[in-house]
Chains A and B, each alone.
Chain A
């Protein structure tokens, strides 16, 4: 069996394009997911039963079904919803790549919600009380007092979840979006070099994720000392 890794070196520009999409997707999903996740967390923690149950239902739904199925769902629904919103004649095809972004933002929101909820709940009640005692409204105390602390406490967990997200983005493969794995797969099939390409992909992911996890661990140690 002869391995020929030149197929990898020759394809680097195309692979890099795929990786760019992966990074893009990860970044937008992380930011968007965190934003909506925090909103969801606040909804879950609100005293309004309807809102909190709705939020809880959404989060539990997203966490009970496979990501692949969620991707298929959104790939099917998003054009329909876009059609409904814009009143177009037929479902709007906005492309796999953009659909994937919407999907991942809404999917990760459920996971970030749970992280932020834990973070918010870990802030002592005294903080909320002192904020109210000063005359701050709910919105102000959340925005200025609670959320900044909660966020800082949860940074290591949020980062770890982002690394997981980075790996999960590979699943856009199932809707033929061209991320890093998708790009490698296309080259592999074109040149019949599955072994070399997939080994390369695995190695790249391993190095990246291991390094990032290690950095998060270092950060965790730093934060622990400061506290």
Chain B
């Protein structure tokens, strides 16, 4: 049973590599397609028809881009929610909660993201039969999407937990005392006093975590998910116009990064507290 499903998934893993069954580098060799020494420039490649005939190559890029964004957004939500909870928990006085939070962070920090992706896609379903059942029966891309989102979401949540913890701990003890002194409960102190300021403080590192998240979404290609980088490489393999394809992907990533940056800078300005220059 295990062997069958594993073989199934191995086949899907192989599909991310060149569909011609050969490895990336070999399939790229122009020497095989003819003895031309020079690279065949063709920026119009994006308007060429794809082999399966249903559109042009730029639509592949677009599809890949959609999946990149989809993974990033879904994972970001998970990461923010979990990361905030765990980061907050690590600043409480409860020793066991703090230890649990620390263990969570250490677990996701010390294993490469690639390995975590494999664990989520190949290993964890083996321990959860209903999950595996769903993954095997549904469209591969949905199984890949779920694994990628869980992997990226939890990985990033550990990093965000670190930021949140650091942000809360940078606030003076006096703020917590003042909140308690007027009679707010522990939860209320976090909600109304500590977290509002902590989040303002950590907007810069949170921005770079968001950009990391978007970049890390590319690792989903190793489990066969056809996101942007996957698609650009695929176009290269079909047309040998690697330069054009990679440039498209590069430009898109840069634009997304700049946009994320601008959005966060805007948010930072909007929520800035008048009269406060930086932090305490």
Q: Does A141 contact B (CB under 8 A)?
A: no
Give complex CA distance A64, B212 in Å: 9
Report whether over half of chain B's contact residues are helix, strand or loop; otherwise say mixed: helix
A residues 160-186 with Cβ under 8 Å of B?
Answer: 167-168, 170-171, 173-176, 181, 185
Q: Measured between alpha carbons, how far is A195 from B232 in the docked complex, in Å?
A: 30
The answer on a CB contact under 8 Å between A69 and B118 is no
| Shortest distance between the CB of A97 and any CB in chain B (Å) | 11
Q: Is the interface of A mostly helix, strand, loop or mixed?
A: helix
A75 vs B258: C-alpha distance in the bound complex, in angstroms?
26
With contacts A68-B219, A69-B218, A202-B119 taken as known, whether A176 is within 8 angstroms of B114 at the C-beta atoms is no
Q: Are B6 and A194 in contact (CB under 8 A)?
A: yes
A194/B123 contact (C-beta < 8 A), A64-B253, A69-B246 known: yes
Q: CB of A198 within 8 A of chain B?
A: yes
Question: Which partner residue on chain B sits nearest A2 by CB separation?
Answer: B2
Q: Select B107's contact among A67, A79, A206, beta carbons within 8 Å.
A: A206
Most chain-A Cβ atoms within 10 A of its Cβ — which of B7, B10, B112?
A: B112
- A80 CA to B242 CA, complexed, in Å: 12
In this assembly, does B75 line the interface, its C-beta being within 8 Å of a C-beta of chain A? no
Given A65-B250, A66-B229, A80-B39, answer yes or no on A170-B10 (Cβ-Cβ < 8 Å).
no
Residue of B with least CB distance to A88: B37
Q: Write the nearest CB–CB distance from B46 to chain A, whole angstroms.
A: 17
Asked whether, in the complex, the Cβ of A68 is within 8 Å of the Cβ of B218, the reply is yes
Q: Chain B residues near A170 (CB, 8 Å)?
A: 112, 114-115
Q: Which residues of A contact B25 (CB under 8 A)?
A: 75, 79, 93, 96, 175
Asked whether B118 lies within 8 Å of A198 as measured between CB atoms, the reply is yes
Number of interface residues of B (CB under 8 A): 54
Cβ-neighbour of B122 out of A91, A175, A195 (below 8 A): A195
For the complex, give the distance between the alpha carbons of A202 and B113 in Å: 10
Measured in the bound complex, the distance between the Cα atoms of B5 and A90 in whole Å is 42
User: Quick one: which of B175-199 are within 8 Å of A by CB?
Assistant: none
CA distance A168 to B25 in the complex (A): 21
Collect the chain A residues with CB atoms within 8 Å of residue B28's CB.
76
The answer to whether B229 touches A205, judged by C-beta atoms less than 8 angstroms apart, is no
A72 at the interface (CB under 8 A from B): yes
A213 close to B112 (CB less than 8 A): no
A47 at the interface (CB under 8 A from B): no
Report if A175-B24 is in contact (Cβ < 8 Å); known contacts: A64-B254, A68-B229: yes
Q: Does B126 contact A (CB under 8 A)?
A: yes
Query: Which residues does chain B contribute within 8 Å of A96, judged by CB atoms?
Result: 25
Please give, as numbers and ranges, the residues of chain B lying within 8 Å of A90 by CB-CB distance: 29-31, 35, 37
CA distance A136 to B215 in the complex (A): 44
Give Cα distance in the complex from A1 to B4, angstroms. Answer: 13
Say yes or no: is A189 at the interface (Cβ < 8 Å to chain B).
yes
Q: Does B67 touch A at the CB level, under 8 Å?
A: no
A185 and B7 CA atoms in complex are apart in Å by 13
Chain B, 1-60, CB within 8 A of any chain A CB:
2-3, 6-7, 9-10, 17, 23-25, 28-31, 35, 37, 39
Residues of A within 8 A of B (CB): 1, 61, 64-69, 72-73, 75-76, 79-80, 83, 89-91, 93, 96, 167-168, 170-171, 173-176, 181, 185, 189, 192, 194-195, 198-199, 201-202, 205-206, 208-210, 213
- A69-B250, A194-B10 known; 10 new pairs, CB 8 Å cut-off, are A66-B217, A68-B218, A72-B229, A83-B37, A91-B30, A173-B222, A174-B24, A198-B119, A206-B111, A209-B111
21 contacting pairs across A/B (C-beta < 8 A): A1-B2, A66-B218, A67-B215, A68-B229, A69-B218, A69-B232, A69-B253, A72-B233, A72-B242, A89-B37, A90-B30, A91-B30, A93-B29, A167-B112, A170-B115, A173-B222, A189-B10, A194-B122, A194-B123, A198-B119, A210-B110
